[in-house]
Structure 1
Amino acid sequence: MDNAIDIPIGTSSFELTFSENIALANGNFYVELLEEGVSKEIQSVGDSHISNNVLSLSFNYSLGYAKEYNILLPANAIKAATSTALYSGLAAGEWSFTTESSPPLWANGFPSVSGQNSAKFDLNALADVTGIVYGVVTGAAAQPSVAQIVAGQNSSSGPAKIARNASVTSIVTPTPVEFLFNDDTPTGVNYYLHTVFEKDGKYSTVETITIDRIIPEINQLTSLPLNGDFTVAVDESVTIVFKEPVFGFDGSGTLPLDNTYFSFQYDDSGTPIDVAFTFSQTTTSEQTTVVLQPDVLLLQDEEYTVTIAPVSDASGNLTNQIVRTFETDKENVWIGGGVVTTWNDPLNWSSGTYAPGKTVTIPIGSTAFPEITSGTIDVHNLTIEPGASLTHTGGTLNVTGLFTLQSSVAVNASYINNGAVGTVLNVVGSNVNVEQVIDNINMTYLISSPTDGSTALSFGNYYPLYTYNNTTDAWDAISSGATMAPGVGYRMWTDDSMVGFSGEINTGAFLVNLTRTNGAGYGWNLVGNPYPASIDWTLLGINESSTIENNFWIWMPTQRAYGAYSASTDIPINITSSKIPSNHAFLVKVKIGEPTGSIEFVPDAQVANDANYLKSGTTKPVVDYIKLAGVTSNNVKDEMAVAFIDEASTAFDRFDLEKRFANRDHLFELFSLAESMKTSINAIPLNGTYEVPLGFNALKTGDFSIEMVMNKAENVETILVDKLEATEIALLPGDRYDFSVASKGLNTSRFSLKFFKVSTDLPIESISFNRSNVFVQGREVFISVPSEIAGSEYRVNDFSGRLIQTGTLRNDGVNSLGQFVEGSYIINIIGTSNAALENHKVVVY
């Protein structure tokens, strides 16, 4: 109707009723909506808007609160349905209405909550009008309706936990309404305040505020040490992280948090001892972090207690006293002073007792290293120093912290796990670090991984890792994320002087398949030691029926030369044993005639790493042999050997070891020829005198030497023949022959080696028939000879067969052979036919 008031602002449809049925006079026409005299919308009207005597109108414009509106209808647009009578239309003021007044509107920043403590909180109400504020506290976030709030109910129409209402008499100053906590609102959870403002039956929007009743909590994962931890480092600080900002509390409000809320103590025979510490704290919108840094190192293997007095969050929720305890770690250092290798013998540990579950260090220097054979051993951090070892043949070893096998330039640490059923190592792979010293980052290294999780990323990812492809005789790069396979060798460069292998430690057996490709890689394959200990080649079970040669070759990056070992002769070249250290790759060779081969690494082949391939010097060699070295002016050596084996042939056979050349100009590489094969070890039968070619490979000219490194042959004399200089020289261990090389490259014609046996058999009864007399004065040995023996050659050997001295008896009478060290010697006087004329035994005191 005209001049209607309190029209709801949601009204959009209007009707105009005539006294009779109506119709359009001249087709469609337009009506207009005015707001406070301003046009807001124009709508087209057609037949669809007319029903008998009713004209229906609809507008899209949203009406505002307390506004005057007019609807304008043009004259002569509507006529009577049964006559030509026209409707005069509606002008401004003829169809007007006023909308309802607005409901209460919350002031900016209201409603709000303040003054919360353990007993109550205040609702602060402020709106654009005075009126009544209603509020209910519920346990659910779901908003009740206005009617439910006014009735003191939750969204399920049940009674709210707390219900309040109060008059608000100011539109300037907020009105506080106190809500008291009760038995229905205990601490430990959040509650929800739902509030609405009412004026003259109109209601504001419903607002919901979370009421925090959760007591501040410590983040157990990020607060360190963990509560109850018993392997805390003695230099560790205490970090306490609250899940929300916290403050000090004095009963009336929050205060800055300081060191007075924290105590740090340990117990000394019932007396609490305070730990002095430096206090710091940081608070963000999300949390408060407190750090207690002890002023001195904590004691080993001691229990500590941190006590936190009640603190408050911003909502006034107060904690109870909080107590956190932890134990410090203890370093158990193995000294091996008790029962040999027994882990639990207290005398084997530096402090005279073993603390289970604590850190263990196994250093070098003990006469015996520990062995775990049964039971369960719990360790926190386990460190094995270079040259030290741990053997694990049974039982369970649990390492809860870091497992580190250290490395030095000379030697690596060893962990020997025999892989047997019931021998269990439990450690997180990412906590394993098997170190390898890189002595010179400018060199190429051939390596092998003792773990199952190492990649190129383990070595800094500066360069790719490469594997050797026998079928193409080329190096294939692997992706940086590819895991190194056990038993496979890799070529590596790095810019780091120390690298580490991580992942679970390899145990058990590993079979590696090999290939022979004639015209490409021939029989050469690069494999690797898969274990964190040395392997002894002689324990791998390789024999004459194997598809690979019973030899290995190993690249020594610092020397930039190849070492090698022949199991058939037990002779090492440029190395001193059959051991292959941990983390090392090496070359093996598939036999001629075999298209494929394999090598199986077995745990029983593991032995402890030792420095420089050390091997007992008292063990008699498997075969007799001599070892020579080509020596440069810088005293860099490259070795070769000649072995004396009755079953050997002059052709290349199983006793011979092929020479693998480094082809570096800092080396003078020696070799011998077995027919056309260049060898590091040339095995020959020695029946009488034998001569073999001695070749060399020199990539530059200059001065060089040939040195006899050792003589492990009984009763064999070695003569070096220099055909260029027409010189022959008998070589004893330590002797060097110096010469010059004018043309670089391979040479097999200049030098040869002559060998012949020296008899040291001396029947006692033969002494009385000697024509010469041998005697000793003050360690000087003399021979008195008759004239018919003067001019004969003589040789002096010790009782191991080692040649000590040679010479000519020049005078008929007394000849001095010089001073000798204490020991027993055999003197052979040799005739012109190379037959022994006389044999003498002499003892020097």
Structure 2
Amino acid sequence: MAGTGTLLLNGSSVQSIGGTTTTTFNNITVTNNANPLSVQVQSNQNIRGILTLSSNTIFDADGSSGTSVFTLLSSDDEPAVVDAAIAALPSGAQVTGNVTVQRYMSIEGGSNSPAFDNGRIYRYISSPVAAPAVSQVQVFNPITGGFTGSSTCTGCNTNPSMFSYNETVTTDTNGSGTPDLNDGYEFFPVSSNTETLATGRGYAMFVWGNVPPVSTAGNATWAVRNQINAGTIDFVASAGVSFTAGNGLANDGWNLVGNPYPSTIDWDAASGWTKTGLDNTVYMKDNGAIAGTYATYVGGVGGTNGGSRYIPIGQAFWVKATSAPTFQATEAVKAPGSTTTFFRTSPPPDLMRVTLRNGPKRDEIIIYFDEEATEGFDGNLDAYKLNNDIFNLFTVTSTGDKLAINGLPMLECSKSLNLSITDVSVGAYQLDFTEFESFVTPVNIFLRDKKLGESVDIKTNPTYEFEVTAEESSYKDRFELTIVNTTLDPTLVVSSTTNGTSCKEGAVVISAEGAPVGGSYRWYENETGGLAIAGQTANEFVTPILEKSKTYYVSAVSPAGCEGARVPVMAEVVNYDEVVLTDLGNGTLSSSYESNNQWYKDGVLIPGATAQEYTPVESGVYKVEVSFGSCTTSAERTVAITGMGEDGPMGPVSFYPNPVDEVLTVKLGNKKWLDPVIVDMMGRELGALSMKPVDGGLIGTFNFKGHAPGIYLLKVSDRKGKLITNRIVKK
């Protein structure tokens, strides 16, 4: 019968299980309801599967002599696979007599757990049978202390190695500086190893993993024997579960309880639990391969660090009372054969898990959204953060509560949370983000690294590596997680935008209008997807230095964080060469640009002077300005122009009459001048004067007959390139 089958006992009279050798059964099912006894175990027998009784059946586990040993075997830390169990007892069903129930525990600790050495760690246990003596456990693991019957062994000491927990302690007994969960431990047993383990109470037991009998057995399996715990278990009456106020709600009401049944139990069982004045969370301390982390499970939500709805046989766990509690369980909470490996068949919606890793060490938190959750602590939906012996990762509520599991109100627009990290050593770490696929509402998830000033899209980069140094800023308040509902709000509209321009390379100022009162803006480099530009929430955005034009996008954001559609805004960069002003040598100035010119004299715009060239007719400072939209470039030159009135010469060059009807006479004060020329205002030459010597100088005439009235220029230059330009008015 040691295979995978089931022994069915369905007779109509008493049936016996016996023999000269011990048989290990897989499953046993009893439907025999003979009265007053259905089945008797008449010799030592084992079961490694599930004992199932139908209504009104009675299973006598130690036989008519009361000496048979019926053992529920446990051979691994995976209770779903290798823990024998007694299924829920229906109406009238009983298991009578003494039953031996094993709890396998591997030797843990050692080199992978620096806080402990040689497999010596604390494990947290409870009894699946009624009132077994401490001496029963001592057979398998030494229990030491100042009580009669303390274990003696090579490598042991006399320090207390087993503890119960007293919730009513409200003082800082361990000297940590804060009265908290760690202050209620009390020596157990107090006076003798005949003292018994209370039903439903949890105990902390030190495992001497490197000394016999644990070391010789190769594991820390222990067993207890007595009548099984069955029916309704009242944890207040049997295990002393209580609530004592004194140190603030987060530190009060902690009770170390345990699975009372010879079966895995289900914290989320559809019926069987009464939990009033009690949070909906299970906490378990794991001192195994990675020293001292708390596994946490919130009913109906999920667990961190391996926390599960399923609690194995012999496992102690923490619950937290918030007022005078009523805490009971019935047979209906049993879940024989159920696994503690998985949190649930499918994850709840709108949930994500964050894991902080350093080598093999890890700590997890859960963040999720629920329509019944609030921003504060909710006893049915949230879990407090209990400090690990390694580093700690948690979120903090607005009232300062540190949470390992944080349920938040349904996501409307966006939610930002700080990821708090404490108790880290220098080294390489990473944050892993998982299970965000569960979100029903389309979301974007961003991690902001405040130290480096960068943001990461978690959905495309779910692992973020970082270094912790001796600087506090390398971990404290460094990370902010933002979850954004990407469903656009059509009522949020950017009503207007203002493009900006930089003349040549530079920063550009662009702006938008339309966000509601109390709202803000998000600026993007992409029309869709991507992160908003960090720190830019005002209506005006100053771009970084740009070498060329670039389109940005802006959206309006409500005070609650809802976002409207993105609209484009242009940051224009106008690149151009500076204008060059050239004197063509004939009194005409020329711009290096063919178009977009405007000429000025002494800072005053010259109407109509927009050609590439311009010939000054008066002395002054001449400037050409070239426009490229709102950008301009300019250059200027000082021009000296001499002339004479009708009354006589005003220098080496004289001319008359001016204004002139037909013949203009020109006199040059010396013979070094070249023949003068007459040009129109377009720079076209009308002719040169033929000069004749006179009185040490030169004289000549020019006939304006046939030329239109207007302004003309007389240009005189010498052999050295000196040029004098004079304005002539033709009547």
TM-score (norm 1): 0.45
1:499-544 deviation digits (Å, cap 9, x = unpaired) = 1122222111111222222336611111111011111112386999
* Correspondent of 1:416 among 81, 86, 91: 86
Letter in 2 for 1:398: D
1:307 alignment counterpart: none
Quote the Cα distance in structure 2 between the aligned partners of 1:503 and 1:717. Answer: 57
Quote the Cα distance in structure 1 between the aligned partners of 2:106 and 2:96. Answer: 29
Q: Does 1:679 align with 2:348?
A: no
Aligned length: 419
Q: Give the structure with the higher percent strand.
A: 1
Structure possessing the higher relative contact order (Cα contacts under 8 Å, 6 or more residues apart):
2
> Within 5 Å, which residues of 2 pair with 1:91-130?
none
> Within 5 Å, which residues of 2 pair with 1:115-194?
none
Q: Does 1:553 align with 2:234?
A: no
Q: Does 1:435 align with 2:166?
A: no
Deviation at 1:548, TM superposition (A): 0.8
Q: Does 1:565 align with 2:290?
A: no
Closer, same or farther: CA 627–371 of 1 in aligned 2, 3 Å: farther
Deviation at 1:709, TM superposition (A): 3.1
Quote the Cα distance in structure 2 between the aligned partners of 1:584 and 1:791. Answer: 54
* Correspondent of 1:641 among 342, 349, 366: 366
2:60 alignment counterpart: 398
Quote the Cα distance in structure 2 between the aligned partners of 1:693 and 1:544. Answer: 35
Letter in 1 for 2:369: F
Quote the Cα distance in structure 1 between the aligned partners of 2:472 and 2:84. Answer: 42
Closer, same or farther: CA 734–637 of 1 in aligned 2, 3 Å: farther
Closer, same or farther: CA 576–717 of 1 in aligned 2, 3 Å: farther
1:466 alignment counterpart: 163
Is the CA contact 1:661–1:669 (under 8 Å) kept in the aligned structure 2? no
Deviation at 1:682, TM superposition (A): 1.5
Q: Does 1:372 align with 2:30?
A: yes
SS at match of 1:604: helix
Q: Does 1:482 align with 2:195?
A: yes
SS at match of 2:432: strand
Quote the Cα distance in structure 2 between the aligned partners of 1:688 and 1:707. Answer: 24
1:704 alignment counterpart: 429
1:575-630 deviation digits (Å, cap 9, x = unpaired) = 25311111011111111xx2x3231121110102444433554x352x42111111
SS at match of 2:332: helix
Query: Runs of 5+ in structure 2 lacking a partner?
Result: 109-118, 145-160, 170-182, 209-213, 215-219, 490-523, 531-552, 557-562, 568-731
Quote the Cα distance in structure 2 between the aligned partners of 1:544 and 1:687. Answer: 34
Higher Cα Rg, which structure: 1
Is the CA contact 2:280–2:380 (under 8 Å) kept in the aligned structure 1? no
1:530 alignment counterpart: 260
> Within 5 Å, which residues of 2 pair with 1:719-798?
719-732=446-459, 735-743=462-470, 749-759=477-487, 791-794=526-529
Quote the Cα distance in structure 2 between the aligned partners of 1:396 and 1:742. Answer: 65
**Bigger shift: 496-505 or 392-401?**
392-401
SS at match of 1:459: helix
Is the CA contact 2:351–2:367 (under 8 Å) kept in the aligned structure 1? yes
Letter in 2 for 1:643: Y
Quote the Cα distance in structure 2 between the aligned partners of 1:573 and 1:750. Answer: 22
1:605 alignment counterpart: 333
> Within 5 Å, which residues of 2 pair with 1:248-267?
none
Task: Provide the alpha-carbon RMSD of the alignment.
Answer: 3.5
> Within 5 Å, which residues of 2 pair with 1:625-640?
625-632=351-358, 634-640=359-365
Closer, same or farther: CA 590–752 of 1 in aligned 2, 3 Å: same
Letter in 2 for 1:792: E
Quote the Cα distance in structure 2 between the aligned partners of 1:488 and 1:733. Answer: 47
Is the CA contact 1:668–1:704 (under 8 Å) kept in the aligned structure 2? no
Deviation at 1:671, TM superposition (A): 3.5
Is the CA contact 1:343–1:371 (under 8 Å) kept in the aligned structure 2? yes
Quote the Cα distance in structure 2 between the aligned partners of 1:542 and 1:418. Answer: 11
Quote the Cα distance in structure 1 between the aligned partners of 2:422 and 2:379. Answer: 24
Q: Does 1:498 align with 2:228?
A: no
Is the CA contact 1:540–1:602 (under 8 Å) kept in the aligned structure 2? no
Q: Does 1:335 align with 2:60?
A: no
Closer, same or farther: CA 733–601 of 1 in aligned 2, 3 Å: farther
Deviation at 1:360, TM superposition (A): 4.7
Quote the Cα distance in structure 2 between the aligned partners of 1:620 and 1:704. Answer: 27
Letter in 1 for 2:2: V
SS at match of 1:493: strand
Deviation at 1:668, TM superposition (A): 4.4
SS at match of 2:226: coil
Quote the Cα distance in structure 1 between the aligned partners of 2:268 and 2:460. Answer: 27
Quote the Cα distance in structure 2 between the aligned partners of 1:468 and 1:584. Answer: 15
Q: Does 1:624 align with 2:356?
A: no
Is the CA contact 1:384–1:414 (under 8 Å) kept in the aligned structure 2? yes
1:329-381 deviation digits (Å, cap 9, x = unpaired) = xxx23534xxxx672599xxxxxxx9954555344xxxxx5543443234444
Deviation at 1:462, TM superposition (A): 2.7
* Correspondent of 1:579 among 310, 322, 335: 310
Letter in 1 for 2:135: L
Quote the Cα distance in structure 1 between the aligned partners of 2:469 and 2:260. Answer: 45
Is the CA contact 1:362–1:384 (under 8 Å) kept in the aligned structure 2? yes
2:416 alignment counterpart: 691
1:383 alignment counterpart: 46
Quote the Cα distance in structure 1 between the aligned partners of 2:132 and 2:45. Answer: 20
Q: Does 1:717 align with 2:440?
A: no
SS at match of 1:719: strand
SS at match of 2:268: helix
Deviation at 1:389, TM superposition (A): 2.7
Letter in 2 for 1:458: Q
Is the CA contact 2:414–2:483 (under 8 Å) kept in the aligned structure 1? yes
Closer, same or farther: CA 530–540 of 1 in aligned 2, 3 Å: farther
Is the CA contact 1:574–1:638 (under 8 Å) kept in the aligned structure 2? yes
Deviation at 1:673, TM superposition (A): 3.3
Deviation at 1:552, TM superposition (A): 1.6
> Within 5 Å, which residues of 2 pair with 1:442-461?
442-460=120-138, 461=142
Deviation at 1:652, TM superposition (A): 2.1
Sequence identity (%): 21
Is the CA contact 1:536–1:578 (under 8 Å) kept in the aligned structure 2? yes
Quote the Cα distance in structure 2 between the aligned partners of 1:745 and 1:542. Answer: 48
SS at match of 2:136: helix
